[in-house]
């Protein structure tokens, strides 16, 4: 009998697969490539909410684990995934400068906010009030990581390229049967695809569409991530990722002219250099209104579990949430109440 069937191989799925394998569990991962939010994601990890200069929930705990996990992936695949870069938050007034210093003096934010404003001159970028520097930040090349992990799974004959058919799942008291195989547990890590899941689609998943641009700008020479109305992230070879939009109505992964114009308008308010658009990307983030992941076990089916709702902070959240769910299943370690699906008390489960 196989220990885990994992449905979905985005960041959540591969992080759970990783922790299961490191604990000598047998797995299969099934993927139909219908969701792309992990692939096209900006990949930023940022411990600070830069609109309000406030701390991300459990930021230090998440970051510490995430750095270790991504480093282990780099060693395993002999590929660079984690690019540690400071984020420079453009400041717009003396008041914002003062607010930055007030935030940097708070114990929970002090490790992440430099007390020295940056006045570096980047060609084509006007920042007369300087930048606030965020520490312990960077980005993960999520597309490369997911692709490498899927290739690894295929080499172990642990990858199933198929759409999961919920009607073919047989739920017995002590095991699950799917496609002639028996499993102890199933982890549903489907991202926005959760809406088609009859076991967990009662959960309040509220997908948010995001669009990004890849641009080429030879004269920018940026060696940090700039954050203003959009972020500008250097990819090397004069390429930059620019994002992102937030659309709560459109639930398709199709790039739109409206999204492109929004990105271009915001970008041109920061960047005064010629550039060309190389690529335009879109995906639907699995977001939740209370901005917390949705993790836990079905109240009527003890072998069905969900790992979802990582939203805009999947890079930071995925390792910690996967570890929390694994320890909950294997060792009955209680889930933090903030992420446990038990917090949705009004749901009537089928």
| 3-class SS of residue 238 | coil
85-137+207-285: same fold as 2-41+143-204+289-343? no
Sign of CA dihedral 268, 271, 275, 281: negative
Domain borders along the chain are: 2-41+143-204+289-343, 85-137+207-285
- Along the 350 residues of the chain, how does pLDDT read in single tens digits? 999 999 999 999 999 999 999 999 999 999 998 887 777 788 999 999 998 899 899 999 999 999 999 999 999 999 999 999 999 999 999 999 999 999 999 999 999 999 999 998 899 998 999 999 999 999 999 999 999 999 999 999 999 999 999 999 999 988 999 989 999 999 999 999 999 999 999 999 999 999 999 999 999 999 999 999 999 999 999 999 999 999 999 999 899 999 999 999 999 999 999 999 999 999 999 999 899 999 999 999 999 999 999 998 999 999 999 999 999 999 999 999 999 999 998 888 87
Angle, in degrees to the nearest 10, between helices 142-155 and 11-22: 50
CATH class given for the domain over 85-137+207-285: alpha beta
| 3-class SS of residue 319 | helix
2-41+143-204+289-343: CATH topology is FAD/NAD(P)-binding domain (3.50.50)
Give the pLDDT of residue 42.
Answer: 80
> Taking Cα atoms as reference points, which of 319, 246, 317, 255 lies closest to residue 281?
255
Instruction: Let me know if 254 is exposed, middle or buried by CB neighbors in 10 A (0-12, 13-18, 19+).
Output: exposed
Give the pLDDT of residue 51.
Answer: 86
- Where residue 96 falls (left for φ over 0; alpha for ψ -120 to 50; beta otherwise) is alpha
Give the pLDDT of residue 45.
Answer: 95
- Distance in angstroms (rounded) separating the CA atoms of residues 278 and 239: 8
pTM of the model: 0.95
């Amino acid at each position: 009998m196989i220990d885990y069937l994992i449905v979905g191989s985005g960041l959540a799925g591969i992080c759970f697969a990783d922790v299961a394998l490191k604990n000598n569990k047998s797995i299969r991962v099934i993927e139909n490539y219908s969701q792309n939010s992990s692939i096209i994601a900006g990949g930023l990890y940022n411990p600070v909410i830069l609109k309000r200069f406030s701390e991300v929930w459990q930021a230090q705990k998440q970051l510490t684990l995430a750095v270790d996990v991504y480093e282990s992936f780099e060693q395993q695949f002999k590929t660079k995934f984690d690019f540690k870069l400071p984020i420079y938050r453009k400041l717009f007034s003396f008041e914002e400068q003062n607010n930055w210093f007030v935030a940097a003096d708070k114990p929970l934010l002090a490790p992440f906010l430099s007390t020295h404003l940056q006045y570096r001159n980047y060609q084509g970028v006007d920042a007369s009030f300087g930048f606030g520097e965020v520490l312990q930040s960077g980005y993960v090349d999520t597309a490369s990581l997911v692709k490498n992990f899927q290739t690894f799974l295929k080499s172990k004959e642990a990858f199933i390229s198929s759409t999961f058919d919920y009607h073919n799942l047989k739920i017995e008291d002590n095991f699950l049967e799917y496609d002639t195989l028996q499993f102890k547990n199933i982890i549903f890590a489907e991202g926005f695809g959760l809406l088609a899941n009859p076991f967990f689609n009662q959960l309040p998943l509220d997908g948010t569409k995001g669009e990004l641009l890849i641009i080429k700008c030879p004269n920018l020479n940026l060696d940090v991530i700039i954050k203003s109305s959009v972020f500008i992230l250097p990819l090397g070879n004069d390429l930059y990722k620019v994002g992102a939009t937030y659309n709560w109505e459109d639930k398709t992964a199709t790039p739109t002219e409206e999204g492109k114009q929004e990105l271009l308008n915001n970008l041109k308010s920061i960047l005064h250099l010629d550039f060309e658009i190389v690529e335009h990307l879109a995906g639907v983030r699995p977001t939740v209104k209370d901005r917390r992941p949705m993790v836990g076990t079905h109240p009527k089916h003890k072998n069905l579990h969900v790992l979802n709702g990582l939203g805009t902070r999947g890079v930071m959240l995925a390792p910690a949430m996967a570890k929390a769910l694994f320890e909950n299943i294997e060792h009955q370690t209680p889930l933090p109440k903030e992420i446990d699906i038990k917090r949705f008390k009004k749901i009537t489960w089928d």
